[in-house]
Every structure is written in C-alpha cells, then in structure tokens.
C-alpha cells in the first residue's frame, strides 16, 4: 500500500468518526435492533389507532361509543361487530380504542410528570448538596418505604380521580426512582473536570445545571420515560381494577376489565381483549426501554 | 459489624418518623368527617356530636392530634362537656406504645384487626416469595451459563413477558380456564367453609392459582437479575484463571461464580420482604383472599382512616425492617460493604 493511500484511508476513518455523534450512533444502533424497532412500531401503531382511529371506525362500522343495545349484549366477536359487544351491548372495538386513549394518555403524561419532577429535583439537590440534599433524600427514603399501592389507595380516595387527577397522582408518587438515578449521575458528573472548567470561566449555577449537567442525563431520562410509561399502564389498570381509577362510563383498559370480570362467563372476549392490549403495550414499552438502554449506554457492548 | 448494624438502625428512625408524619397529613387532608361516619345517625344532636368530637380529640389543632396519635392522650384530661375544664383522662396509648387506635368501621382495635389478617396474607406472599426465588435463581443461572441457546432465549422472553402481564388479568384468565371451564381448582377464598375438617392438602388447592400468579412476577424479576449477575461474574478475571487452571466447569460455576453472583440477590430480598404485606392487595381482591389487602381496600372504601393509617405505618415498618435485614445480610456476606 502506498503512503498516499494510507493517508487517504486515515482521512476517511476520521471523517467517518466525525460524522457520527453520540446520538447518531445511538440511533444507528437502535435501528439495527430489530426487536426494539418492531416494538416501537407496534406502540406507534397502537397510539395512532387509539387517538385517530375512533372517528374512522365509527364512520365505517356505524357504531357509537356510548350507544347501548340491551338486546345484543355480550355477543362474541363476529356476531356483534368486529370484536363483539359488552354487557350493555356497546361495541367492544370502539370502546377499546377510546379506552386506549385514556390509558395511553395517562401513561405518557404521568410518566412525563414524574420524570420532570425526578430530573429537576435530582439535578438541583445533587448539584447543591448539603442540607437540601439530605432533606430530599430523607423524603425519598420515607416515600419509598411506604408500599406504593397503599399510597395510591389513599391518594385515590382523597382525590377521587378523573384522568387528569390520576396523571398528577401517579406522577407525584412515581418520581422517586428517576430522582435517585439522576442524582447518582449528577454526583459523578460533578467530579468531572469540565465542570471545573465551566466554573472557571464564570458559569452561573443555573447555566451549569442547564447546559452542562442536564444534557448528560438525557439518555437516562429517555430510558426511564419509556420503562415508566410501561409500568404506569400496569399501575393504572390495577387501580382501576380495585375501582379506584378513572370511573366508568369513561372507558380505560383497566376499568373495562373490572366491568368484564362480572360477566366473564357470558362474555369471555370482554376479559381477553383489554388485558391483551395492556400486556402488549407494556411489553412494547419494556422492550423499547431495553433497546434504548443498549443503544444509549456506552458501556454496553454494541452490536450484540 | 455491630457498629454497622447500630448505624443502620439509627438511620431508619427519621424515616419512620417521616412515615407517621406523611400518613397523618394525608389523613388530615382527607375529606369526610369521621364523626358523621361513626354516628351515621340522623337523630344525632349537634350537642352530642360536639361531645363526641371532643372525646375523640378532633377539636384539637393538628399538631396536638398528631402528638396524641403518636404517644397517646392518657396523660391529659379531656374536656368532654366543653366547659374548659378537663374531666377524664384519655384512653389512647399512642403508636409508640403499640396502640394504633380504633377502627371506625369495625369499632375494634386496628392492631387486632391487622394481626388477625396478617397470617392469611403471609401465607400467600411468603409462599410466592419462596417459590419465586427457588425457581427464579436456578433459571437465571442456567440461562446465563447456556447464554444464547434456545433455553436462554425462552427464559429471557419469559422474564420480560412475565413482568408485562397484569397479574390480576392472568388471575382472571386462570379462573376462567381452571375453575369455570375445567372445574379443577376453587375459584376464590382460602378454604372450604362448609367443611371444617378439610385437610391441609385441601387448602393447598386454594393457594395454587394466587401463588402461581404472584410467583410468576417474582420469577421473572429474579431470573433476569440473576442472569445479569452471573453473566458479569463469568467475565471476571478470576473465572478465567479458574478455567486456565483446568478446573471443571461445574466446579467453576458452583465455587467461583455462584458465590459471587448470589451476593447482590441479598439486595433484592429487602424490598421483597418489605412488600410482603402490601404486595398482594390486588390479587387478594381477585381471589377473595381474606388478608390485609382486602382489609385495607374495604377500609379505603369506608373511609376508615385509623385503619388505613395503621396499615400504612405497619406496612412501612415492615419494609424498613426488610431493607434493614437485607442490608445487614449484605454486609455480613460481603465485607467490602461494611468497611465503606
């Protein structure tokens, strides 16, 4: 190989590395991960179907979400609409779609709320340390030692929840884990030299947090957001099952299961579909979260 | 070691204090007047309810109420008739002396109510915990040792799916299949109340479905965790050294890998032990299991605040003890921890 050629190759390589930032690298890795891509596609499809599907389905199948029909109750799929009818003769498919709207919105927004609280509290307390940090850690330890289900039960009784209130409750009780993770990350970041450098050129506290610390927690945030959304769907459905979630007639996948349990002999399909959708959604969230973790964690072995 | 244990014990005191404060504040914020809940009587006079309110200490400011709840009010005279002069001593002993108050709904001591229900819940959750660990640990180990075989793939899929399925939905499906369609297992309850002479074996039939459903989630978590730990240890230098020495695979796994991989499981055990009381609330509801969960859920619907608060605080105490136990276990088997 001539000297010229070698220089060229090196140049190319440099070009190659320069053109791939951390995020592009992560995206590349994620796109190669077929299972995660599939899960993401399913999630997107489900979300689109739930938020934009109902008007179309209503038009095409001539059904209405609140129209009851007591003569055609508990019909199996095929006989009464695509997925049958429920105990009041309502079309099951359209209710599943509307229920998905609420369940998914609660999951997305509650996850967003809890992550926001977790990140802000985590960054601020870990950055300043001292008494504030001690106080917040005491609060976190306390909150963590009460069984979550008990806290949720109490909160749900005190503020009998609509979807909006439920989002706030779940968000306000779910930030602890994220906060712990972020705090750990920030504490290790604080020891880095770029922090000292930023401080040396006169950066103020808020600028340090916003432009030097926060970007370094984004991968953590993205992963937590996904995994959290998955577990929140489970929590929401569990609360609904106990009768403490969003109240009927507003459908959610959780309270559809609650209603269905009284009729599972007449309408087994009423039990199967909401549960299947919950499981599928949660599974996809978890798989996407796992895929993101592989893609965003530089320590994980790429291309496995 | 003793120093470590004592330090951890002292550390848990502020947490416990915080829990009593939080649950008290939540109860204070709760709507609904306990007095109307107790009397629930249209003929009750304003004078009568006012007297009851003073008797219960509900006329006192929140801070006083909290102190009474914490250490009791048998050292102060209560002004029952409202003339500003104390008449009789209070009867409550307070949380710190083991008195959790009276349940509004059952009109009985909260502690007694809870203690009655705890065995049923423990029977369910402890069995599931044991089943979960006994199945989950070997599953994770095998999965790591045979990584990238079909066994590993199946286990990994199972552990993700096992965590994603709502337990109560699985329980419903199992009831449909095994109780309604096949008629093999009883649908709900803890035992056949029409047969007082039923053997222990008969009661086990009632436990199969709830324990299976609860254990499934634990197996999924534990096997996943165990797999990651074993994989990590397998990559360590001392394992390579052991291989280089020509040790048998079995010896390496048992003596070098497992010893180290099992240590972090102790950390997982703490929260698991801690959630023994609260971990089965929904499943108890599905199977009509007469445990803590049902007691609390009913209390919530009846707005029985002393009962709810007592359960929360007891559940939290158990959680703190569980974490404490696992921390001490951890420090005991891994000297690096306690030297930090």
Tens-level pLDDT at each residue, chain B (340 residues): 777 788 878 888 888 888 888 878 877 777 766 676 666 667 777 777 777 777 777 777 778 888 887 877 777 777 767 666 667 777 777 777 777 777 777 778 888 888 888 888 888 888 898 999 999 988 988 888 887 888 888 888 888 888 888 888 888 888 888 877 787 777 777 666 666 666 667 777 778 888 888 889 889 988 888 888 888 888 888 888 888 888 888 888 888 888 788 887 877 887 787 777 777 888 888 888 888 888 888 887 777 778 888 888 888 888 888 888 888 887 777 777 665 5
Tell me whether residue B6 is in a domain. Answer: no
Chain-chain contact of B26 with A141 (C-beta, under 8 angstroms)? no
What confidence tier does A249 reach under pLDDT thresholds 50, 70, 90?
confident
Distance from CA of B183 to the nearest CA of A (A): 13
Q: Which domain holds residue B125?
A: 113-333
What confidence tier does A300 reach under pLDDT thresholds 50, 70, 90?
low
Cα B322 from Cα B332, distance rounded (Å): 15
A186-208 confidence digits (pLDDT tens): 888 888 888 888 888 888 888 88
Residues B83 and B134 in one domain: no
Tell me whether residue B339 is in a domain. Answer: no
- Is pLDDT at A6 greater than 70 in this prediction? no
Burial class (CB in 10 A: 0-12, 13-18, 19+), B255: exposed
Find the closest chain B residue to A289 by CA distance. B160
CATH of the domain at A171: 1.10.3720.10
Chain-chain contact of B315 with A146 (C-beta, under 8 angstroms)? yes
Single out the residue in B99, B131, B160 at which a domain terminates: B99
Tell me whether residue A207 is in a domain. Answer: yes
Q: What integer pLDDT is reported at residue A69 of this predicted model?
A: 65
Q: If contacts are CB pairs under 8 Å, which of residues 191-230 in chain A contact chain B?
A: 230
Q: What integer pLDDT is reported at residue A113 of this predicted model?
A: 92
Number of domains into which chain A is organized? 1
Residues B63 and B155 in one domain: no
Share of chain A above pLDDT 90, in %: 3
Residues B217 and B124 in one domain: yes
Q: Which residues contact A93 (CB under 8 A, 6 or more apart)?
A: A57, A61, A63, A81, A82, A83
Tell me whether residue A12 is in a domain. Answer: no
Which residue do the tokens 């609860």 mark? Answer: B214
- Is pLDDT at A1 greater than 50 in this prediction? no
Mutate to test the interface with B, among A150, A169, A256 (most CBs of B within 10 A): A150
CATH of the domain at B277: 1.10.3720.10
Chain-chain contact of B319 with A268 (C-beta, under 8 angstroms)? no
Say if CB A274 and CB A204 are below 8 A apart: no
Residue numbers in B near A230 (CB within 8 A): 164
Q: If contacts are CB pairs under 8 Å, which of residues 157-196 in chain A contact chain B?
A: 157-158
Tell me if chain A has a CB within 8 Å of the CB of B85: no
Single out the residue in B67, B99, B131 at which a domain terminates: B99
Residues B259 and B148 in one domain: yes
Residues B81 and B221 in one domain: no
Residues B140 and B205 in one domain: yes
Chain-chain contact of B279 with A147 (C-beta, under 8 angstroms)? yes
So what's the ipTM on this one? 0.78
Chain-chain contact of A146 with B19 (C-beta, under 8 angstroms)? yes
Tell me whether residue A13 is in a domain. Answer: no
The 3-class SS string of chain A reads CCHHHHHHHHHHHHHHHHCCCHHHHHHHHHHHCHHHHHHHHHHHHHHHHHHHHHHHHHHHHCCCCCCCCCCCCCCCCCCCCCCCECCCCCEHHHHHHHHHHHHHHHHHHHHHHHHHHHHHHHHHHHHHCHHHHHHHHHHHHHHHHCCHHHHHHHHHHHCCCCHHHHHHHHHHHCCHHHHHHHHHHHHHHHCCHHHHHHHHCCCCHHHHHHHHHHHHHHHHHHHHHHHHHHHHHHHHHHHHHCCCCCCCCCCCHHHHHHHHHCCCCCCHHHHHHHHHHHHHHHHHHHHHHHHHHHHHCCCCCCCC
Chain-chain contact of B297 with A153 (C-beta, under 8 angstroms)? yes
Residues B179 and B261 in one domain: yes
Residues B128 and B260 in one domain: yes
Say if CB A146 and CB B281 are below 8 A apart: no
Residues B44 and B120 in one domain: no
Tell me if chain A has a CB within 8 Å of the CB of B221: no
Mutate to test the interface with A, among B166, B293, B297 (most CBs of A within 10 A): B166
Highest mean pLDDT among A32-41, A67-76, A84-93: A32-41
Find the closest chain A residue to B313 by CA distance. A146
Residues B70 and B216 in one domain: no
Chain-chain contact of A271 with B18 (C-beta, under 8 angstroms)? no
A121-151 confidence digits (pLDDT tens): 988 888 888 888 888 888 888 888 877 788 8
Q: Which of A138, A264, A279 sits opposite B165 (nearest CB)?
A: A279
Q: Which domain holds residue A68?
A: 23-300
Q: If contacts are CB pairs under 8 Å, which of residues 245-284 in chain B contact chain A?
A: 274-275, 277-279, 281-282
Q: Tell me how many residue pairs between chain A and chain B have CB atoms under 8 A apart.
A: 130
Single out the residue in B70, B99, B128 at which a domain terminates: B99
- Is pLDDT at A3 greater than 60 in this prediction? no
Residues B93 and B134 in one domain: no
Number of domains into which chain B is organized? 2
Residues B271 and B229 in one domain: yes
Tell me whether residue A31 is in a domain. Answer: yes
- Is pLDDT at A303 greater than 50 in this prediction? no
């Amino acid at each position: 190989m001539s000297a010229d050629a070698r220089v060229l190759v090196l140049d190319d390589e440099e070009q190659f590395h320069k053109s791939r930032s951390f995020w592009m690298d992560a995206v590349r890795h994620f796109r190669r991960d077929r299972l995660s891509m599939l899960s993401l596609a399913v999630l997107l499809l489900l979300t689109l179907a739930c938020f934009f599907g109902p008007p179309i389905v209503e038009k095409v199948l001539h059904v209405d979400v609140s129209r009851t029909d007591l003569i055609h109750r508990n019909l199996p799929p095929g006989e009464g609409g695509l997925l049958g009818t429920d105990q009041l003769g309502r079309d099951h498919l359209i209710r599943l779609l509307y229920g998905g709207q609420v369940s998914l919105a609660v999951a997305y927004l509650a996850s967003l709320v809890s992550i926001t609280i977790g990140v802000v509290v985590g960054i601020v307390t870990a950055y300043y340390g001292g008494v504030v940090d001690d106080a917040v850690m005491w609060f976190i330890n306390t909150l963590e030692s009460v069984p979550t289900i008990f806290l949720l039960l109490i909160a749900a009784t005190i503020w009998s929840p609509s979807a909006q209130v439920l989002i706030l409750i779940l968000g306000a009780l779910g930030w602890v884990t994220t906060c712990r993770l972020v705090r750990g990350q920030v504490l290790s970041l604080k020891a880095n030299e770029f922090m000292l450098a930023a401080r040396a050129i006169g950066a103020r506290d808020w600028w340090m947090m916003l432009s030097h610390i926060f970007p370094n927690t984004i991968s953590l945030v993205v992963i937590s957001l996904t995994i959290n959304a998955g577990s929140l769907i489970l929590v929401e459905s569990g609360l609904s099952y106990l009768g403490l979630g969003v109240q009927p007639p507003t459908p959610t996948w959780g309270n559809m299961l609650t209603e269905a349990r009284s009729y599972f002999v007449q309408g087994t399909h009423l039990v199967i579909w909401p549960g299947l959708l919950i499981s599928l959604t949660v599974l996809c969230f978890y798989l996407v979260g796992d895929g993101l973790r592989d893609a965003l964690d530089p320590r994980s072995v790429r291309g496995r | 070691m003793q120093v470590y244990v004592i330090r951890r014990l002292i550390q848990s005191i502020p947490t416990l204090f915080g829990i009593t404060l939080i649950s008290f504040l939540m109860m204070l914020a709760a709507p609904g007047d306990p007095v109307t809940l107790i009397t629930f009587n249209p003929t009750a006079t304003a004078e009568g309810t006012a007297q009851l309110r003073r008797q219960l200490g509900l006329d006192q400011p929140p801070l006083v109420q909290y102190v009474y709840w914490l250490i009791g009010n048998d050292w102060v005279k209560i002004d029952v008739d409202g003339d500003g002069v104390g008449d009789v001593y209070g009867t409550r002993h307070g949380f710190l002396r083991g008195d959790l108050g009276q349940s509004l709904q059952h009109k009985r001591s909260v502690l007694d109510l809870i203690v009655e229900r705890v065995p049923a819940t423990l029977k369910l959750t402890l069995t599931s915990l044991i089943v979960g660990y006994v199945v989950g640990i070997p599953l994770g180990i095998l999965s790591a040792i045979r990584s990238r075989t079909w066994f590993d793939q199946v286990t990994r899929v199972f552990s993700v799916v096992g965590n994603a399925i709502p337990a109560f939905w699985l329980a419903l499906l199992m009831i449909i299949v095994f109780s309604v369609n096949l008629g093999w297992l009883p649908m709900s309850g803890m035992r056949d109340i029409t047969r007082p002479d039923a053997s222990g074996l008969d009661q086990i039939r009632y436990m199969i479905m709830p324990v299976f459903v609860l254990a499934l989630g634990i197996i999924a978590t534990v096997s996943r965790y165990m797999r990651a730990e074993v994989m990590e240890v397998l990559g360590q230098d001392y394992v390579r050294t052991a291989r280089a020495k020509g040790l048998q695979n079995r010896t390496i796994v048992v003596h070098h890998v497992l010893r180290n991989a099992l240590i972090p499981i102790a950390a997982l055990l703490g929260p698991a032990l801690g959630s023994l009381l609260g971990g089965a609330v929904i499943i108890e509801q599905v199977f009509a299991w007469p445990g803590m969960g049902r007691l609390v859920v009913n209390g919530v619907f009846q707005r029985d605040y002393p009962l709810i608060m007592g359960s929360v605080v007891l559940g939290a105490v158990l959680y703190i003890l569980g974490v404490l136990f696992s921390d001490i276990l951890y420090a005991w088997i891994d000297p690096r921890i306690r030297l930090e």
